[in-house]
Amino acid sequence: MTTMLGLDLVGRRVLVVGGGPVAARRVQSLLADAARVVVVAPQLCEALVDMHTWGLVEWHAREVASHDLDGVWLVHTATGDRATDAAVVRWAHERQTFCVDAGASQGSARTPATTQHGDVLVGVVSTGTPDPGRTQSVRDALSAHLREGSVDLRRHRPGPGRVVLVGGGPGDVGLLTIAGRRALAEADVVVTDRLGPVSVLDDLQAGVEIIDVGKSPGNHPVPQHEIGRILVEQAQRGRVVVRLKGGDPFVYGRGGEEVVACREAGVDVSVVPGVSSAFGAPAAAGIPLTHRGTVGAVHVMNGHDGWSPAALLGLRERSCTVVVLMGVSALPALARTALDEGIDPRTPVALVEDGTLPAQRVTRAVLADVVDVAAAAGVRAPAVIVLGAVADAHLLEPETSTERGAVTMST
């Protein structure tokens, strides 16, 4: 019978016998566990030479001897020579020291194929004849399952609270990152709003508390300072708190303010980036924000703040694409000011509603007409506004040539 144990090797002496690539991989794993690694081998492969040069390992350039096992906590043998490995296994047995034999099943210990997600380490070993290919295959399947966030990774014992700001992307749950899903699998409480992949909340484990702090245009029932207070208070209760936000937390998501609130209170806080709607929504609508030969720069702005000199200059000189977030209600004022500032009335404009979601809709017009066209179409928030040559519906139509023949595109 095989019993799996977690070994604390921090600062403890571990012997690796052998200097080839297999030994190098073992040494790398041991260094990651902060072990004091001693290598005994007449020669080293390039990877081990580098580790020795950097002072990461102690190297004895000779054949292994029985006294090399004195005072070590664990032995790994990977010489490739069966007689040498068998001798090391025998010496380890005499000293009652656990030994991993990379070449056969003679050793008293085995190294599992591992995968780590957060602070959870999962290992797979075979109890019969060693079969590394099989254990790695099972490990990979388990790793994929954990990455999907479908396993309950919440702590069952008390621990320090922390906050994770997760960028959920523009709406499609498929654009939520693997790191974001894993954070949700570890969450005791999720503080969410109306934007982003809210459908993922249906997949949370029973017992996870959901706090809705959603805002809509003109309606902010939970002010920003109160959101910060909620995050801090929940973390101070020893809970893992995920702040699920639409888009990216640091792109007009006020994530910086929430990080400051946590740090001022001494609460551990981290950030998982997300796909910003400023980039995700136009891409989903087939609008390249940069396009070779057309424009090579992008300016992102908040519609409530009005035009910046840089944005107006970029449109006037046709040198950049301007993406406006939270600009639907401000569109009349933005369009009027742009025209007054000399922006070409024929500048293409595209409004992408519900970007990446099944209800996604794109409304196009030129700057001079966009307010009337948007009103007639009933454009509503959330929508991303794109101004510049890339918003032209014909930009990506293929060129035709009598030499190359006709080219068609499917949509």
305 is catalytic: no
From the list 85, 172, 188, 193, the catalytic residue is 193
Nearest 5°: phi and psi at 405? 90, 175
Long-range CB contact pairs, 83-87, < 8 A, 24+: 84/17, 85/17
Q: Which residues lie across from 240 on neighbouring strands?
A: 162
The residue ranges of DSSP E strands in 168-302, in sequence order, are: 189-192, 209-212, 240-245, 268-272, 298-302
Answer yes or no: are the C-beta atoms of 364 and 391 closer than 8 Å: yes
Instruction: Give the Cα-Cα-Cα angle 92, 95, 99 (nearest 5 degrees).
Output: 25
Answer yes or no: are the C-beta atoms of 17 and 40 closer than 8 Å: yes
Look at residues 214, 155, 145, 222 and name the one whose alpha carbon lies nearest to residue 189: 155
375: CB partners within 8 A, 6+ apart:
none
Residue 330 is encoded by which pair of tokens? 């401000």
208: CB partners within 8 A, 6+ apart:
154, 187, 188, 189, 190
Give the ranges where 237-354 is alpha helix by DSSP (H): 255-264, 277-284, 309-316, 331-340
Nearest 5°: phi and psi at 58? -95, 130
202: CB partners within 8 A, 6+ apart:
none
Q: Token match 């709406």: residue? A: 171
Helix (H, G, I), strand (E, B) or coil at 203: helix
193 is catalytic: yes
Catalytic residues: 193, 215
